[in-house]
Amino acid sequence: MGNAAITNNVRRLRFDADEMTQADLAAKADVTRQTIIAIEGGKYSPSLELAFKIANAFGVPLESVFQYQDGE
Amino acid sequence: MTESNDFTTRTKINTVQLGLWSGAWVLTTALAAFGPKFLWEFSTWPTILGVLINLGVGFKMILVNKRHLNGMDELMRKIQLEAMAISLGVGLVCGISYELLEDIKLTTFEPEISHLIILMALVYTVGVFSGVRRFK
């Protein structure tokens, strides 16, 4: 069992989406801005439902937003 | 901004309801505690009724708290549940040890449940603040 890590491109996708603010993304995903900050900072891995909501907010597939890396 | 308004509105409503039912529970606790002495001179049936009302309002408060938790943002719910878990554990472990102190003659005073409640409240508060800091 290695060190699995979930990384994300949320910040980059936000900037690519006409510089969407964290508050806007939080509103679209039905969470608080603090949650978006924690996700972007890699301090919190969202639930599957929230991950899908974030991906839908950007109109991209889930794998474009979150990546799973199984460490050695 | 409809989703934000719905989430924010829902959270506000749940928080207000929790505040109201918590306040009601505190008031019924005061009534059950002081009513017998100052209002109905320890008559049995009003005293029993006072305790039952206090219990009923308390159970409703628990259900409202559960709804408040379930309506929260998932990160905040995680922080709250972790703080509650630690508070519950500390309450249980320290409570049992505290209760033993007088029995095993380490202290001469009777343990008071209010001391335990204060400890649990402090631990819970610290748990929430440290949880919020951890995810900043």
pLDDT along chain B (136 residues), means of 10: 66 94 97 93 93 97 96 94 97 92 84 92 97 92
B136 to chain A: which residues are within 8 Å by CB?
Answer: 34, 37-38, 43
Q: What is the pTM of this model?
A: 0.84
The C-alpha of A25 sits at a distance from chain B's nearest C-alpha, in angstroms, of: 10
Contact across the interface for A43 and B135, Cβ inside 8 Å: yes
Predicted confidence at residue B102, as pLDDT, reads 82
Nearest to B1 among A27, A31, A50 (CB): A27
Nearest to B74 among A35, A37, A43 (CB): A35
Predicted confidence at residue B5, as pLDDT, reads 60
- Measured in residues, chain B has a length of 136
Tokens describing residue A6: 């979930």
A60: left (phi over 0), alpha (psi -120 to 50) or beta: beta
Predicted confidence at residue B7, as pLDDT, reads 75
Predicted confidence at residue B125, as pLDDT, reads 97
A 10 A CB-CB count for B50 gives 21
Cβ–Cβ contact B12 with A under 8 A: no
pLDDT below 70 — which residues of chain A? Answer: 1-4, 71-72
The neighbouring-strand residues paired with A4 are: A70
Amino acid in the structure at residue B116: L
CATH number of the domain within which A20 lies: 1.10.260.40
Q: Tokens 């900043």 appear where?
A: B136
User: Under 8 Å CB-to-CB from B119, ≥6 apart: which residues?
Assistant: B90, B91, B94
Task: Provide the residue range defining the domain that includes A58.
Answer: 4-70
Total domain count, chain A? 1
A28 to chain B: which residues are within 8 Å by CB?
Answer: 3
Predicted confidence at residue B1, as pLDDT, reads 46
User: What is the C-alpha to C-alpha distance for residues B87 and B102, in angstroms, rounded to an integer?
Assistant: 23
Predicted confidence at residue B104, as pLDDT, reads 86
